[in-house]
Chain A
């Protein structure tokens, strides 16, 4: 059974010009122990999706669909019930630890606080467990660091602290929103290794939000590519990265800067995806990528494209895709 099942989720922000649909009928599931990457550019709705799952958007936001997790619909829970899920059954790692951590509280007491709240541990036991978590995530000299404040740590160390917090209550699901985007490249690999290893140890499912296909290749089992709040392609990481079928996924892969690994003397031009991501207020009756698509036909503008299975575990939302025979 799926650990979490997101079923036709839409997220609507009310505005003067009517509701803005940031997430538009998105469905996916994560199995226990599986890492699913949601890939897209800014404005694709990938971060809004996890904010909706965690119910972290303001009261004015409207949701449609369902988010089934451990037998309940998270969208139907009261705020008090939701608080028991966040940081407990679902751990979160954000892009910028400096804004996610409390600047005036020591890192040890931040980790211990969630253990006392969710697990009912005593002051002494929660501190012992916090120390254990800090050493687990590779903080050097944890017995000294535990009483330090976030600003006393480097960016990579802060990200480790946030991972320690996210893991402290043994969550069933870990949500990592651009976990290495703000980090240096030589630290990025360390943090990705840590997330992979800890998720495996816990047997937790992971939802990885990223714009970076290199990070996807490192961490993900399955990939969902989103564009303008809609899913355009879904499949195993190997299928999506090696045999992308949607014109947008192909464009993203070609536009991703990568080292050429020697040979040749002119690096030359990068492959572009022409045009821009549509704004939230734009009404898109047909395929959202149609205005930028080199393969678009007149009907693509009028009608939503169908979901076409093109291989086992590979789905493309495109009229031009040829179904598997």
Chain B
């Protein structure tokens, strides 16, 4: 069996928070709370959920922008949790990131050439100036930008084009894995489709693995091989895209899918209106964390936390119900 490119095991990222005027009674914000999954080479795993579910903290913990409280992460068989900063630096070229807002992740004072060349220089992958220029031109071509873009500054480009620059920079050190943190969420409709297609093309051509963090299920359906749904720091359902989209096994997945609005009046569907909003991750509900908003909650849900269990369709869901009630 092949080694997964990314192996995340029982990962916890808790932040200490102060309570009360004197900071007594310290509590924990459980942003990521016991998360386990793998990503194979060339695969796209989407992490979906609403704000506060911990999906971005999960990405940042894997990148070690934030230190995990517990658990482990292996990148291509190397345990990157507990690695020293120096060791991590060397390995980081294999794992790159594209953020939501290219305007704030690209330095406004650097030319596009230098932005894309930076990782080449940092990881010692650069040859002489001519070699760097050739590589930058090649990367620009791969992301669909003209060679002349190299001499310009980020502000001269539209949002979609800036995201292409960010992708070119991420590709520069030839990574095995790119973490896309809401990478298309801030884009307009027409550039969103372009960037999703670009990521799919690059992935197929270069054999990249993607960890695609997003709140947008309609986009995820176009790009993901597998999908993990997070709620209040935990994965509540994980499985193959088709199984999870066609027959969700967790009530939260079903509600998320039903909340996606469709422009065609003919394609309106029954909507499951969830009560209220996501509770605080500082004080999550007992038992199942979703029970306070779940239309199907019963006594056992408050008393006992459901484990992820495999379902007949192959996906795993953390719900006490074996099957969801039929939609009326």
Contacts and interface: CB of A to CB of B under 8 A. Distances in A.
Interface string A169-187: 0000000000000001111
Interface residues of B, number: 49
Contacts of B268: 217
A270 B260 contact: no
A184 B50 contact: yes
B200 A269 contact: yes
A41 B193 CA distance: 13
A272 B263 contact: no
Contacts of A43: 158
Q: In the complex, which of the residues A43, A188, A273 has the most CB atoms of chain B within 10 Å of its own CB atom?
A: A273
A291 to B, nearest CB: 13
Interface stretch (B2-10, B75-83, B94-102, B214-222): B214-222
B190 A258 contact: no
Interface in A238-273: 238, 241-242, 251-253, 255-263, 265, 267-273
Interface string B228-262: 00000000000001100110000000011101111
Nearest to B259: A185
Contacts of B160: 276
A217 B277 contact: no
B273 interface: yes
Contacts of A156: 277
Interface stretch (A66-74, A97-105, A141-149, A207-215): A207-215
Please tell me the size bucket of the interface on A.
35 or more
B217 to A, nearest CB: 7
Q: Could you tell me the dominant secondary structure of chain B's interface residues? A: helix
Contacts of B256: 185-186
Given A185-B260, A262-B245, A272-B197, A257 B190 contact: no
Contacts of A255: 189-190, 192-193
Interface string B152-186: 00000011110000000000000000000000000
B134 to A, nearest CB: 26
Contacts of B259: 185-186, 188-189
Given A253-B263, A255-B192, A256-B263, 9 more contacts: A41-B189, A184-B51, A185-B215, A185-B256, A187-B277, A257-B222, A261-B269, A269-B222, A277-B188
19 contacts: A41-B188, A41-B190, A155-B51, A184-B51, A186-B255, A186-B256, A189-B259, A189-B273, A217-B268, A242-B266, A252-B189, A253-B263, A259-B221, A260-B221, A267-B222, A267-B223, A270-B193, A272-B190, A272-B193
Interface of A: 41-43, 140, 154-157, 184-190, 193, 211-218, 237-238, 241-242, 251-253, 255-263, 265, 267-274, 276-277
Interface of B: 50-51, 158-161, 188-194, 196-197, 200, 215-219, 221-223, 241-242, 245-246, 255-257, 259-269, 271, 273-274, 276-278, 293
